Amino acid sequence: MTAKEKVNILMVDDQPSKLLSYEVILGELGENLVKATSGKEALELLLKNDFAVVLMDVSMPEIDGFEMVDIIRQHPRFQKTAIIFISAVHMTDLDRLKGYQRGAVDYISVPVVPELLRAKVSVFAELHRKTHQLELLNKELRRLSGSLISSQDEERRRIARELHDGLGQDLTVVKIMLQGVFRDDPLAKSKQPAVADIYKLIDGALQQVRSVSYLLHPPLLDEVGLRSALGWYLDGLSKRGGIDITMETQPQEFPRLAPELETTLFRVIQEALTNVFRHSRASKACVTLERKEAEILATVRDNGVGIHDEISEFRPESIGVGIGGMRQRVKELGGQLALRNAGPGTIVDVMIPITSIPSADRAVPVTVT
């Protein structure tokens, strides 16, 4: 529905002549006008179509407008549908109140002032159109943020490859050339200490290139899969961070998964462990990965200080980019992320359905030595 697309307006009145007059009054709004002469007919139409607003005659013979709205409101889909009551007889304040208690949004008395009716209906029509547009924009936003995450991954992969294969290779060549200079020129012996220093510097630089490129995109993930990549990552982390991290997988020979799923699980576990290091003051952490029939379950548990309720409730002002990103990644694959206190410590639970992932071809592996 774009700004110019029509919305549906339902007019309910047992008298066809009244319906005709509403039709004339509202005709110039250029929306789709639909008529119903009974509550039953109105319900049938409501169930089949999406209406921006319902004009409802209060006094109808079989079932009056208020009862009708009661029935409509019971249906979850119509709890927010705008309803304008039109009434000639029940116009005491009490009746107005009766109408509003039923969630009606407006009230018009007879004789109907055409301009007033038109103005009220057009406000609701516009509101409906705007709400629908907002929903579409939100959907698009979710889609875009998902593709942003995957293009971020692609970009990291590319930078990692360039760092490793480009700068890394260049440094290696420099090192070999230096070795050559030293070998071919006996006089260079006097320079041995300086050359040794240069070696050390180059080795350090090579090591840094490797670390940065691994961090940007773990090469093992493409080559040998999630379990080995995580194993490599956890080893490094345990050594550097001084926290004892264990991993259990079920089954032990953990199967390969679709690339998007492996990347998401790796990144989410990586972020959860980064949080363990940064915030938990834990001495131990445990990662579990379980392949169920139709889903993957992953947990990261620590024995640290635990988290506040605002964080486990994902209150926007409490969570940061880390948890926000984890949640978004998991959501993109139709899964769920939950954080809770383990007493002591924190548990991060991840569930991602396997069926939601198309079985894409494996990505070209990044070769890193």
Ligand X SMILES: Nc1ncnc2c1ncn2[C@@H]1O[C@H](COP(=O)(O)OP(=O)(O)O)[C@@H](O)[C@H]1O
Q: Which of 213, 299, 303, 346 binds ligand X (CB under 6 A)?
A: 346
Residue nearest to Mg ion (CB): 322
Instruction: Give the total of residues touching ligand X (CB under 6 A).
Output: 17
Q: Which is nearer to ligand X, 209 or 337 (CB)?
A: 337
Return d(Cα 63, Cα 36) in angstroms, integer. 13
Q: Does 302 bind ligand X (CB under 6 A)?
A: yes
Please list, residue by residue across 40-64, b when 16 or more beta carbons sit within 10 angstroms of its beta carbon and e when fewer do.
eebbebbeeeebbbbbbbbebeebb
Q: Which is nearer to ligand X, 96 or 284 (CB)?
A: 284
Q: What's CA 96's distance to the chain center, in Å?
A: 42
Return d(Cα 294, Cα 355) in angstroms, integer. 6
Cα torsion 12, 16, 21, 26 to 10°: value is 40
Please choose, from the candidates 270, 165, 284, the residue with its C-alpha nearest in 3D space to the C-alpha of residue 221.
270
Nearest distance, CB of residue 346 and Mg ion, angstroms: 12
Q: Which of 77, 143, 191, 278 binds ligand X (CB under 6 A)?
A: 278
Nearest distance, CB of residue 307 and ligand X, angstroms: 5
Nearest distance, CB of residue 143 and ligand X, angstroms: 23
Stretch touching Mg ion by CB under 5 A, among 89-97, 136-144, 230-238, 321-329: 321-329
Return d(Cα 329, Cα 327) in angstroms, integer. 6
Q: Per-residue x/- marks for ligand X, 305-344, CB under 6 A?
A: x-x---x-------xxxxxx--------------------
Angle, nearest 10°, between helix axes 65-74 and 39-48?
A: 30
Q: Does 237 bind ligand X (CB under 6 A)?
A: no
**Alpha carbon of 55 to those of 33, 117, 229, 285: distances in Å?**
10, 10, 62, 61
Please choose, from the candidates 174, 233, 168, 162, the residue with its C-alpha nearest in 3D space to the C-alpha of residue 207.
168
Stretch touching Mg ion by CB under 5 A, among 13-21, 139-147, 225-233, 269-277: 269-277
In a 10 Å sphere around its CB, with 0-12 CB exposed, 13-18 middle and 19+ buried, how is residue 97 labelled?
A: exposed
Q: Which of 304, 337, 352, 366 binds ligand X (CB under 6 A)?
A: 304
Nearest distance, CB of residue 271 and Mg ion, angstroms: 6
Question: Token pair for residue 45?
Answer: 């139409």
Contact assessment for residue 346 and residue 302, using Cβ atoms and an 8 Å cutoff: yes
The sheet with strand 244-250 has its strands ordered as 244-250, 284-291, 295-302, 346-353, 336-341
Q: Which of 146, 231, 241, 322 binds Mg ion (CB under 5 A)?
A: 322
Nearest distance, CB of residue 141 and Mg ion, angstroms: 23
Q: Does 103 bind Mg ion (CB under 5 A)?
A: no
Q: Which of 25, 276, 330, 350 binds ligand X (CB under 6 A)?
A: 276
Residue 364 interacting partner from ligand X, Mg ion, none (CB closer than 5 to 8 Å by kind) = none
Instruction: Give me the residues that bind Mg ion (CB under 5 A), please.
Output: 275, 322
Instruction: Give me the residues that bind ligand X (CB under 6 A), please.
Output: 275-276, 278-280, 302, 304-305, 307, 311, 319-324, 346
